[in-house]
């Protein structure tokens, strides 16, 4: 007679084994209709799962994160079901859940077209409307292999063949379609109502370019019509904000096939870069960091000693000279340790803070490159703090406060804090990992920050806080980090003289605020939809003459503003002023100053702010005061 303990602590007894669905029905008809799955003693199971012993049970609905994942996983199966109905010769492979949706890979004799996707989506809707039950069964491994071979599904048979002999596998059937899957799944296809197929792309079987190419259909699925529409609206807005398109339209940068994964910065884009770098340089200076610069190419032996070689060797660019092997640095940490080791350091010198705008290179796969967000060559605002254990907490506290100010200045106020704890593959003892994790968590508590734990997501040398930004349309970008490292200084034999005259290895804090400057500028472009705030805009003011008669006056205004430090240009083209204003507005210039005969005669300017705001005519000195204030306050 199983006793079921529910999340609120209440208990229910049943006279015989009971399914998750039956428990939900005993609680209420509303819950029975909403139930998608169950969590029995922490394990997700189908609603048809039978409980025959005492257990803890939580009913999973579409309001739970697990419920939404189950909806998406089940919709991937519905997609495969529809494809097999419309294209019986297609072979199915794998269909996992991904962020905001799912995909499924197919082998078919010809590429799927946009019209095919429409037909598949329509068929998915028809199959969902049939509300067919989703039924699980278990087969021995070898029997399952023969089953899928008989069905002509050779990819599925190959997947099962990689499972150890003697094990059982689970299959799920809905109508005429059966698929290999661990589950769980929704009870019936009628639970799958709010989905959309997004695109089709190429993919290699098992991710290996040596294997045959498959077709990957991407889709999204949500718990409600409103959530689906909200997501699609967000995608439309994200398309408008795409930094790659804006980079072209605003003449900021380009990516060239002659150097994949590297950025060619145009004058305007490099101006933005310089503003970000100089701002961060002031952050270094004002917060006790000494700026350093390390070499790009370092002997492979150093990377082996630091532990990076085992972890990153496949992502390193390597070269050879005079029978020595070198690697182009993928990060700056070992170089900073070599700088620390020069000369004798005392405990009185600690904490010692080094900062570098370090150029790094990582050999990212071509398929993973994405504009300036994911590149092979990038620059970090990389800092390392050499300190004692007693310094960790105050340094982490000060760093979090500093990071919050920097993000506010760039227009971000919503930050997510995550503590990534020890991974399975790591260096260092459990004792020092305990100390490091405690310091990070305590620093966030004392900062008043709500945080979540990401078990096992720490770096191989230490735990870390990840600081994630939420942008104007709700997307999340992980940028900042603070990592506590008790091991690397010891591995590279960096020491300081302690108060008792003994030699100690310093604790090393790895930190970055914006992370990759390339990626951060891409985020800024998308956050502001290209309309960067005045202090960051590559061109802050354009003075447009109405006719040639005001050309000299317009240039005088430009020179006056430039002496103030404003990035100003003149537009003296022989075009109608309305056209000039329209084109300059499309370039998202913060301020357009119109100079006609009246303005020339009175020493004034007609001011138009971005967003088609007419601020009227004002003396040039008044405008200088306004833009100076806007730049200083970073609006």
Q: Tell me: the pLDDT tens digits for 233-287?
A: 999 999 999 999 999 999 999 999 999 999 999 999 999 999 999 999 999 999 9
Mean pLDDT of 162-181: 91
Catalytic residue among 91, 215, 275, 380: 380
d(CA 141, CA 626): 74
Catalytic residue among 123, 376, 422, 464: 464
H helices of 348-429, in order, are 389-409
Cα 491 to Cα 308, 346, 403: the distances in Å are 11, 19, 29
Residue with tokens 């257990």: 55
| Cis status of the peptide bond prior to 351, with omega within 30 of 0 | yes
Residue with tokens 């290179």: 361
pLDDT confidence bin for 372, thresholds 50/70/90: very high
Residue 506 near residue 447, CB atoms below 8 Å: no
DSSP track, 288-356:
TEEE----SEEEHHHHHHHTHHHHHGGG--EEEETTEEEEE-S-SHHHHHHHHTSS--BGGG-SEEEEE
pLDDT given at position 395: 94
pLDDT given at position 551: 95
Residue 465 near residue 440, CB atoms below 8 Å: yes
pLDDT given at position 206: 81
| Cis status of the peptide bond prior to 598, with omega within 30 of 0 | no
Mean pLDDT of 88-109: 93
pLDDT greater at residue 69 or residue 163? 69
With a CB cutoff of 8 Å and minimum separation 6, the contacts of 433 are 421, 422, 426, 462, 463
Q: What are phi and psi of 567, to 5 degrees?
A: -85, 95
pLDDT given at position 357: 96
In this structure, what token pair is assigned to residue 242? 């795409």
pLDDT confidence bin for 163, thresholds 50/70/90: confident
pLDDT confidence bin for 210, thresholds 50/70/90: confident
**Over the chain, what is the mean pLDDT?**
93
| DSSP element (H, E) containing 158 | helix 154-161
Whether the pLDDT of residue 465 is over 90: the answer is: yes
With a CB cutoff of 8 Å and minimum separation 6, the contacts of 553 are 545, 595, 599, 600
pLDDT given at position 1: 73
d(CA 152, CA 137): 20
The answer to whether residue 360 is catalytic is no
Whether the pLDDT of residue 572 is over 90: the answer is: yes
- The predicted-structure confidence for 306-344, as pLDDT tens digits, reads as follows 888 988 888 999 999 999 999 999 999 999 999 999 999
Whether the pLDDT of residue 64 is over 80: the answer is: yes
Residue 182 near residue 121, CB atoms below 8 Å: no
Mean pLDDT of 568-588: 96
Torsion sign (Cα): 447, 285, 532, 566: positive
Q: What are phi and psi of 245, to 5 degrees?
A: -65, -45
pLDDT given at position 162: 87
- The predicted-structure confidence for 584-606, as pLDDT tens digits, reads as follows 999 999 999 999 999 999 999 99
The answer to whether residue 49 is catalytic is no
Q: What are phi and psi of 297, to 5 degrees?
A: -115, 125
The answer to whether residue 362 is catalytic is yes
Partners of 594 in beta bridges: 544, 606
Q: What are phi and psi of 87, to 5 degrees?
A: -130, 75
Of 554, 536, 523, 544, which is closest to residue 590 (Cα–Cα)?
A: 536
d(CA 288, CA 282): 10
In this structure, what token pair is assigned to residue 107? 């082998």
pLDDT given at position 211: 84
Q: What percent of the chain has pLDDT over 70?
A: 100
Catalytic residue among 116, 382, 471, 571: 382
Among the residue ranges 43-52, 87-96, 199-208, 284-293, the one predicted with the least confidence is 199-208
Mean pLDDT of 57-84: 95
Give 597's Cβ-side CA count (13 Å radius). 2
Catalytic residue among 333, 387, 396, 479: 333
The answer to whether residue 414 is catalytic is no
Residue with tokens 């790659």: 244
pTM of the complete model: 0.84
SS3 535: coil
Cα 498 to Cα 197, 432, 439: the distances in Å are 63, 19, 21
Mean pLDDT of 444-464: 91
Residue 555 near residue 595, CB atoms below 8 Å: no
Whether the pLDDT of residue 460 is over 90: the answer is: no
Mean pLDDT of 360-367: 90
Catalytic residue among 84, 196, 384, 504: 384
Counting Cβ atoms within 10 Å, is residue 518 exposed (0-12), middle (13-18) or buried (19+)? buried
**CA trace torsion 624, 630, 632, 635 (10° rounding):** -170
* DSSP single-letter state for residue 610: T
- The predicted-structure confidence for 132-150, as pLDDT tens digits, reads as follows 999 999 999 999 999 999 8
Of 597, 552, 615, which is closest to residue 606 (Cα–Cα)?
A: 615
pLDDT confidence bin for 557, thresholds 50/70/90: very high
pLDDT given at position 279: 97
Catalytic residue among 185, 196, 308, 362: 362
pLDDT given at position 431: 87
| DSSP element (H, E) containing 527 | helix 517-527
Between helices 430-447 and 389-409, what is the axis angle to 10°? 40
Distance linking the first and last C-alpha atoms of the chain: 67
pLDDT confidence bin for 427, thresholds 50/70/90: confident
Mean pLDDT of 101-125: 95
Cα 361 to Cα 99, 516, 532: the distances in Å are 27, 11, 28
pLDDT confidence bin for 530, thresholds 50/70/90: very high
Among the residue ranges 58-72, 153-167, 386-400, the one predicted with the least confidence is 153-167
Residue 155 near residue 213, CB atoms below 8 Å: no
pLDDT given at position 261: 94
Counting Cβ atoms within 10 Å, is residue 377 exposed (0-12), middle (13-18) or buried (19+)? middle
pLDDT confidence bin for 494, thresholds 50/70/90: very high
Of 387, 485, 481, which is closest to residue 435 (Cα–Cα)?
A: 485
Catalytic residue among 510, 567, 600, 610: 510
H helices of 170-266, in order, are 225-241, 243-249
d(CA 286, CA 289): 8
pLDDT given at position 433: 87
Of 82, 94, 164, 161, which is closest to residue 123 (Cα–Cα)?
A: 82
pLDDT given at position 517: 97
d(CA 6, CA 3): 10
The answer to whether residue 380 is catalytic is yes
Number of residues written out for the chain: 635
Cα 244 to Cα 6, 19, 216, 515: the distances in Å are 50, 52, 24, 19
């Amino acid at each position: 007679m199983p006793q079921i303990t529910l999340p609120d602590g209440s208990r229910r007894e049943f006279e015989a084994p009971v399914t998750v669905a039956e428990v939900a029905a005993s609680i209420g008809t509303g819950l029975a209709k909403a139930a998608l799955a169950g969590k029995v003693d922490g394990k997700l199971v189908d609603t048809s799962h039978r409980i025959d012993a005492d257990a803890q049970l939580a009913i999973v609905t579409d309001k739970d994160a697990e419920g939404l994942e189950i909806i998406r996983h089940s919709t991937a199966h519905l997609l495969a079901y529809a494809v097999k109905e419309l294209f019986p010769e297609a072979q199915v492979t794998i269909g996992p859940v991904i962020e905001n949706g799912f995909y499924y890979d197919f082998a078919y004799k010809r590429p799927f077209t946009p019209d095919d996707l429409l037909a598949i989506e329509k068929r998915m809707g028809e199959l969902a409307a049939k509300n067919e039950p989703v039924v699980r069964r278990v087969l021995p491994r070898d029997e399952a292999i023969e089953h899928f071979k008989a069905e002509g599904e050779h990819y599925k048979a190959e997947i099962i063949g990689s499972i150890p002999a003697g094990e059982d596998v689970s299959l799920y059937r809905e109508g005429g379609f059966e698929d290999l899957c661990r589950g769980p799944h929704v009870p019936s296809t009628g639970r799958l109502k709010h989905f959309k197929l997004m695109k089709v792309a190429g993919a290699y079987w098992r991710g290996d370019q040596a294997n045959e190419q498959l077709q990957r259909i991407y889709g999204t699925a949500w718990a409600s019509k409103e959530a689906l529409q909200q997501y699609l609206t967000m995608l439309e807005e994200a398309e408008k904000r795409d930094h790659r398109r804006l980079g072209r339209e605003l003449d900021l940068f380009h990516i060239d096939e002659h150097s994949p994964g590297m950025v060619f910065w145009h004058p305007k884009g490099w101006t933005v870069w310089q503003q970000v770098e100089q701002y961060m340089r002031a952050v270094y200076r004002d917060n006790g960091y000494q700026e350093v610069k390390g070499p790009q190419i370092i002997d492979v032996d150093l990377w082996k000693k630091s532990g990076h070689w085992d972890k990153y060797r496949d992502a390193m660019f390597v070269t050879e000279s005079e029978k020595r092997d070198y690697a182009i640095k993928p990060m700056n940490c070992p170089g900073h340790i070599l700088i620390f080791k020069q000369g004798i350091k005392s405990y009185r010198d600690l904490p010692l803070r080094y900062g570098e705008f370090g150029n790094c290179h990582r050999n990212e796969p071509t398929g993973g490159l994405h504009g300036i967000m994911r590149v092979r060559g990038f620059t970090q605002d990389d800092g390392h703090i050499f300190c004692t254990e007693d310094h960790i907490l105050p340094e982490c506290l000060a760093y979090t406060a500093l990071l919050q100010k920097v993000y506010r200045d760039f227009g971000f106020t919503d930050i997510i804090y995550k503590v990534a704890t020890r991974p399975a593959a790591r260096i260092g003892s459990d004792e020092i990992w305990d100390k490091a994790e405690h310091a990070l968590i305590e620093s966030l508590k004392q900062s008043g920050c709500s945080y979540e734990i990401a078990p096992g997501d720490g770096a191989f040398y230490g735990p870390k806080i990840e600081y994630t930004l939420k942008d104007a349309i709700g997307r999340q970008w992980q940028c900042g980090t603070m990592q506590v490292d008790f091991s690397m200084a010891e591995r590279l034999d960096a020491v300081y003289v302690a108060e008792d005259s003994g030699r100690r290895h310093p604790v090393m804090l790895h930190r970055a605020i914006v992370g990759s400057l390339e990626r951060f500028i891409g985020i800024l472009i998308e956050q502001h939809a290209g309309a960067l705030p005045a202090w960051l805009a590559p061109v802050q003011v354009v003075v447009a003459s109405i006719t040639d008669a005001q050309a000299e006056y317009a240039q005088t205004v430009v020179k006056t503003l430039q002496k103030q430090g404003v990035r100003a240009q003149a537009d003296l083209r022989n075009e109608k002023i309305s056209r000039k204003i329209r084109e300059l507005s499309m370039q998202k210039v913060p301020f357009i100053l119109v100079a006609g005969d009246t303005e020339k005669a009175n020493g004034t300017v007609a001011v138009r702010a971005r967003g088609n705001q007419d601020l009227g005519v004002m003396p040039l000195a008044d405008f200088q005061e306004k833009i100076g204030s806007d730049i200083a306050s970073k609006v």
